[in-house]
Amino acid sequence: MSVIIPKAKTGPAGWKWISENAGKPHDEQVVQKAGEEVEEFCHVLKSEGVTVHRPEPMRWDQLGTFRTPYFEEGGCVWHCVHVLI
């Protein structure tokens, strides 16, 4: 399941990138920039009166297997339930 659904929803160029980079750590500059964007987004939400709850950081590479009564998945990227439905 973890290969069929993402491949069906990803264009050829995107799938090529996934195939070449899956399992590798992201570039630190990309991670830092993404973190800054999330922080800015939270700031905007808070300034509009929205209560923002931030989860504790976690090691996605150590997450393990995700199970439901209907399927079992071991790939960390595909743990988003909306991707699997």
- For 47-68, b/e burial (b = at least 16 CB within 10 A) is eeeeeeeeeeeeeeeeeeebee
| pLDDT tens sequence across 28-84 | 999 899 999 999 999 999 999 999 998 887 776 676 677 778 877 665 554 454 444
Tokens of 55: 């989860």
15 vs 3, more confident: 15
List of residues 6+ apart from 6 with CB closer than 8 A: 15, 18, 77, 78, 83
**Rounded CA separation 76/70 (Å):** 18
